Amino acid sequence: MLIKKSSPWEIPYSEITPQSVYLSRRRFLTRTVAAGAALAAGRAVLPGWLSPTGAQAGTKLTGVTKSSYGTDEKITPYEHVTNYNNFYEFGTDKEQPAKLAKDFKTSPWTVAVEGEVAKPAVYDLDTILKLAPLEERIYRHRCVEAWSIVVPWIGFPLHALVKMVEPTAKAKFVAFQTLFDPKQMPVARHAGIPFPYVEGLRMDEAMHPLAILCVGMYGETLPNQNGAPFRLVVPWKYGFKSIKSIVKIRFQEKQPPATWNLATPNEYGFYSNVNPDVDHPRWSQKSERRLGEFLKRKTLPFNGYASQVSQLYAGMDLRKNY
């Protein structure tokens, strides 16, 4: 990422964690009470199997099942996860997306599925959401900038969508693309990276049960700054693989381009698996700071998901394929 300070270790704690850290508990309680009041007042509440496409960010999702996948680590307070974001279409400062994505139009929303599939189509989110029941997955999320969060995402396995569209034998990779609308994203022109934001996965990565397509978090539809209404979450990779606000999914034979790899190929590879043994050219990846915490913790290979995913990379030199 284009970090203005020379390394994340030099960012003062007060900047990484807004002063809300000491207020967060009180705000969280206020929010919970407010959510309860909204429910009592009949504000929109969606069963998990219904689409939130007509819903605003922050609409309660009900009927979401708890998944057996995920960590039981302490969840990062909502305030941190929604006020310290990377979403370069809405600014390069971490606090900007929460403010500048406020009026981002996320409804109606369609996703074009193209390329090497038997069923190419433009699907609306309602159709996609009927594919599989929504699950809550509490995942560690490790940003390449050496901070991390633990988030209760709501979504369904990416493989459910892959199976629905019936990839042909030629489909070796899946490419993803974010909406790019300069009218809604006027600050994007200062971001210094190409848009639309694009990402990709190898087919076997896309089929892995840990990879999810995500429509919500903390019991509600996604806030705009976190990638509403529909994003990817791949927990064993650095956060930049988890592309937000997806409008296109393309199945193809060739490895697709990935935004950060295009922007600075010597710093960001295609695979982007969390690897404490491969430093970023400008900083170490050995440890990370969890937002809201003071002490750093050790970064784990594949972000702690090695036992589930390392076999995908058997025989590969992960120092070269970073």
**Cis before 12? omega within 30:** no
Identify the residue among 24, 83, 148, 242 touching ligand MTE (CB under 6 A).
242
Nearer to ligand MTE, 116 or 191 (CB): 191
Q: What is the DSSP letter of 184?
A: T
Residue from 52, 157, 239, 292 touching ligand MTE (CB under 6 A): that is 239
Minimal distance, residue 244 CB to ligand MTE, in Å: 4
89 binds ligand MTE (CB under 6 A): yes
Q: Of the ranges 70-78, 242-250, 290-298, 314-322, which one interacts with ligand MTE (CB under 6 A)?
A: 242-250
Q: Kindly state whether residue 220 participates in binding ligand MTE, applying the rule CB under 6 A.
A: no
CB atoms within 10 A of CB 44: 14
Bridge partners of 288, per DSSP, are 297
Number of residues that bind ligand MTE (CB under 6 A): 17
Shortest CA distance to 38 belongs to which of 55, 51, 21? 55
CA distance 179 to 231: 11
Which stretches within 53-166 are classed as H helix? 78-83, 96-100, 125-129, 158-165
76, 226, 261, 303: residue in contact with ligand MTE (rule CB under 6 A): 226
Phi-psi sector, 270: left (phi>0), alpha (psi -120 to 50), beta: alpha
Q: Which stretch binds ligand MTE (CB under 6 A): 107-115, 238-246, 262-270, 314-322?
A: 238-246
Binding region for ligand MTE (CB under 6 A) out of 35-43, 205-213, 240-248, 294-302: 240-248
Q: Of the ranges 33-41, 80-88, 152-160, 168-176, which one interacts with ligand MTE (CB under 6 A)?
A: 80-88
State which residue, 162 or 243, has the beta carbon closest to ligand MTE. Answer: 243
Nearest C-alpha neighbor of 27 from the set 184, 159, 209, 218: 218
* 59/44 Cα distance (integer angstroms): 6
Site pattern 116..155 for ligand MTE (x: CB under 6 A): ---------------------------x------------
Q: Which residue is nearest to ligand MTE (CB)?
A: 239
Nearer to ligand MTE, 67 or 92 (CB): 92
Q: In the complex with ligand MTE, which residue's Cβ is closer, 110 or 164? A: 110
**Closest CB 213 distance from ligand MTE, rounded Å:** 13
Candidate list 20, 24, 53, 178; residue touching ligand MTE; CB under 6 A: 178
CB 113, CB 171: distance < 8 Å? no
- Buried (b) or exposed (e) across 12-43, using 16+ Cβ within 10 A? eeeebbbebbeebeeeeeeeeeebeeeeeeee
Of these, 214, 243, 249, 274, which contacts ligand MTE (CB under 6 A)? 243
Binding test (CB under 6 A) with ligand MTE, winner from 20, 53, 57, 87:
87
Nearer to ligand MTE, 116 or 290 (CB): 290
How far does Cα 81 stand from its chain's mean position? Answer: 11
For residue 39, the SS3 value is helix
- Whose tokens are 């633990």? That residue is 150
Distance CA(82)–CA(179), nearest Å, equals 20
322 binds ligand MTE (CB under 6 A): no
The residues that touch ligand MTE, with contacts defined as CB under 6 A, are 1, 85-89, 143, 178, 197, 226-227, 239-240, 242-245
